[in-house]
Structures are given as C-alpha cells and as structure tokens.
C-alpha cells in the first residue's frame, strides 16, 4: 500500500493505478473501525483499486476543543487498510491540504444549514469543500459514504448533482455494535456510564418503528422518541427530527412515505448522531 503525504505523490500513484482499472475512494478522518472498513469492503467489491484518505478536516469543526480532542491513531489505521487490500492512502496535514490563502468554499445552501447544520454552523460547508477537493485530487470512479452521517450523504449527493462532478456516490448502511450503538470514532470519548447509556438512541428508533403500527403523526413519533431518550439522565437531546427520507423536508401529520429519524444527542461533551429509516405500514 502506497502512503501518500503530498498531493504530488498522490497524483503520481493514481496515474499508475488508473492505467489498470477503476478507482473507488473511501474518505475518512481515521481512527478506523468496522464501519469505515465496511465502506472499504464495498469499494473493493466494485472497483479494481480502492484508495482511502485519512484527514481530520479542521474546517468542518466549529469548536477548537472538539478538533483537538478528535481521536487519532494513524499507526493503527494503516495496517487495517493495508491488510484489507487498499492500494493507496492519502494522509495530508492541514498545511498540505489547504493553501494558506484559500478562500473558495462549496456550500449546498439549503441542506447545509438545517438540522445538524443549524446545530453546527459551517460544518457542512467544511465537509462539502474538503470532499470536493478530495474528488478533484483523486478523480475516483466511485466514492463511498456511510448512511450513519445521513445529512452528510445528502449534502454530497446534492453537490455532485449540482456541480456535475463525475463520480458515482454510494451510501453504505450503518454498522453497529452488538448493543445497537452505531460505531463511531467519537464513542471512544464517552465515559463508561455514557457508553452504557448510548444504545438508547438505537433502541428509541426500533421502538419508533414498532409504534408505526399505530399510524402516529410525525409530531407524535418525534415526541415519543424524545421522551424515551429523555428517560436516560446522561443523554441531552439536541434534536429529534423526522424527515422525508429523500429530501429531508419536514413531515407534518401522518407519515405516508419513507421517512428518516435523525438524532443528535449529547453525552457531555460528546455529540452522537444516529439515523434510522422508517417505512409506513
Ligand atoms: P469519519 O471518519 O467519521 O468522517 O467517517 C468516514 C466515513 O465512514 C463517513 O462516510 C461515515 O459516514 C462512515 N462511517 C462512520 N461510521 C460508520 C458506521 N458505523 N457505519 C457505516 N459507515 C460509517
């Protein structure tokens, strides 16, 4: 596996790889777990070469502490990628990634500023800009993103559509621990008590799916989830949203089309997000 620290090394490596087939890209911020590796497995199945990036992108963090405390473990990540069969990994520093007078941004104006985007202003602008840069640098045939970051996936699909970026975007289902907690690099920052309580997010989604038999309105279902998570004293509910699964537009009244439950819950100071698609009975 080729480890590329600079854009020039990456370009040279990709030119070689492209000669012998298609390229699938898995962008990550590292501290890899089975969720990331599921994206890698999907990429390996569909492409001649799978490549990855590990970059903790400063421009998508609103809070300096959150950026500083984001877990990193490059020395553990590289063997995982190598053993899986990844051909090359790009591991730039922020100085390599961004020109020091950089001023250009990419923003999906509506999608970036609602839901999690309202909770974390600037976050999705940072994501869209760095992913555009990665698409330009790698020029992959396909790129893989987790459904766990549901709004992020919607932002990237929208940006690719609107800017005619020639890449096929694939969404990959959320990988969970046995107790239902979605795998996340941030889970390592939970206290033992918070870790024990965190499966309530998924349990509430499963309970909401069961409640669908009673044909609740979106408002009733949202309240039900809010109340259930609220029974956990360590959980601070930031938002519970039930939205159209495709457009992420609000649903008022009965849920007649596939909908997505979007959760943002803080276990101080860690913000956990999760998602679950529900279908009307
Ligand atoms: P991150 O390193 O958190 O930026 O995540 C990199 C990619 O892995 C993103 O596309 C995430 O949505 C995806 N991902 C993170 N956690 C999971 C998970 N538990 N299951 C599936 N994909 C995931």
Note the pLDDT tens digit of each residue in 260-273. Answer: 999 999 999 999 99
**CATH number, domain with residue 19:** 3.40.50.620
> Which pLDDT score is estimated for 89?
98
Regarding whether 144 and 7 lie in a shared domain, the answer is yes
> Which pLDDT score is estimated for 161?
98
Mean pLDDT, the chain, as a whole number?
A: 97
> Which pLDDT score is estimated for 201?
98
pLDDT tens digits for range 50-86: 999 999 999 999 999 999 999 999 999 999 999 999 9
Regarding whether 223 and 146 lie in a shared domain, the answer is no
> Which pLDDT score is estimated for 9?
98
Regarding whether 164 and 192 lie in a shared domain, the answer is no
The string of DSSP codes covering the chain is -EEE-SHHHHHHHHHHHHHTS-EEEEEE-SS--HHHHHHHHHHHHH-SEEEEEE---GGG-S-HHHHHHS---HHHHHHHHHHHT--EEE---HHHHS-TT-------TTGGGSTHHHHSTTHHHHHHHHHHHHHHHH--SEEEEETTSHHHHHHHHHHHHHTT---EEEEEPPPB-TTSPBP-GGGGGS-HHHHHHTTHHHHHHHHHHHHGGG--BHHHHHHHHHHHHHTSTT-EEEEEEEEETTT--B--SB--S-EEEEEEEEETTEEEEEEEEE---
On the question of pLDDT at 249 being above 90, the answer is yes
Final residue belonging to a domain, choices 142, 172, 202: 172
Regarding whether 21 and 117 lie in a shared domain, the answer is yes
Atom of ligand 1 nearest to the CA of 36: 8
**How many domains are there within the chain?**
2
- Can you tell me the mean pLDDT for 18-39? 98
Which among 66, 124, 148, 153 is the best mutation to test ligand 1's pocket, defined by most ligand atoms within 8 Å of the CB?
Answer: 148
**CATH number, domain with residue 211:** 3.30.1300.10
> Which pLDDT score is estimated for 281?
81
Number of other residues whose CB lies within 10 A of the CB of residue 122: 16
Regarding whether 23 and 94 lie in a shared domain, the answer is yes
Residues tagged active-site: 36
Question: Ligand 1 site: residues with CB under 6 angstroms?
Answer: 28-29, 35-36, 38-39, 145-146, 148-149, 172, 174-175, 182-185
Q: Whose CA is nearest to atom 12 of ligand 1?
A: 146
Q: How far apart are CA 237 and CA 180, in angstroms?
A: 18
Q: Whose CA is nearest to atom 7 of ligand 1?
A: 28
Question: 41 C-alpha to center of ligand 1: Å?
Answer: 13
> Sign (positive/negative) of CA torsion 270, 153, 34, 177?
positive
Question: 234 C-alpha to center of ligand 1: Å?
Answer: 24
**Is this model's pTM higher than 0.95 or not?**
yes
On the question of pLDDT at 166 being above 90, the answer is yes
Regarding whether 189 and 168 lie in a shared domain, the answer is no
Could you tell me the residue range of the domain that residue 61 belongs to?
A: 2-172
Final residue belonging to a domain, choices 144, 172, 200: 172
pLDDT tens digits for range 180-192: 999 999 999 999 9
Question: 276 C-alpha to center of ligand 1: Å?
Answer: 15
Regarding whether 133 and 38 lie in a shared domain, the answer is yes
pLDDT tens digits for range 1-18: 999 999 999 999 999 999
Regarding whether 60 and 166 lie in a shared domain, the answer is yes
> Which pLDDT score is estimated for 125?
98
Final residue belonging to a domain, choices 146, 172, 198: 172
Question: 77 C-alpha to center of ligand 1: Å?
Answer: 14
Which among 27, 36, 56 is the best mutation to test ligand 1's pocket, defined by most ligand atoms within 8 Å of the CB?
Answer: 36
């Amino acid at each position: 596996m080729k480890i590329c620290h600079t854009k020039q090394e990456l370009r040279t490596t990709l030119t070689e790889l492209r000669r012998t087939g298609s390229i699938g890209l898995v962008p990550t911020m590292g501290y890899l777990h089975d969720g990331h590796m599921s994206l890698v497995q999907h990429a390996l199945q569909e492409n001649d070469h799978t490549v990855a990036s590990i970059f903790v992108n400063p421009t998508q963090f609103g809070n300096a502490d959150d950026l500083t405390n984001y877990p990193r473990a490059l020395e553990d990540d590289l063997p995982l990628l190598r053993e899986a069969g990844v051909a090359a990994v790009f591991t730039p520093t922020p100085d390599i990634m961004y020109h020091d007078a950089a001023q250009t941004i990419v923003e999906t104006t509506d999608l970036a500023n609602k839901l999690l985007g309202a909770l974390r202003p600037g976050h999705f602008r940072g994501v869209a800009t760095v992913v555009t840069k990665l698409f330009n640098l790698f020029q992959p045939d396909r790129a893989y993103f987790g459904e766990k970051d549901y709004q992020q996936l919607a932002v990237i699909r929208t940006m690719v559509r609107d800017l005619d970026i020639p890449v096929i975007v694939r969404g990959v289902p959320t990988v969970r621990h046995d107790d239902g907690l979605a795998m996340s690099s941030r889970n390592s920052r939970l206290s033992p008590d918070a870790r024990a309580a965190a499966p309530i997010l998924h349990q509430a989604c499963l309970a909401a799916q069961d409640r669908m038999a009673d044909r609740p309105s979106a408002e009733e279902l949202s309240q039900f989830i809010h109340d259930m998570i609220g029974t956990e004293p360590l959980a601070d509910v930031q938002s519970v949203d039930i939205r159209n699964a495709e457009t992420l537009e609000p649903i008022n009244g009965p849920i007649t089309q596939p909908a997505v439950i979007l959760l943002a819950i803080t276990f101080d100071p860690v913000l956990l997000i999760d998602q679950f698609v529900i279908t009307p009975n």
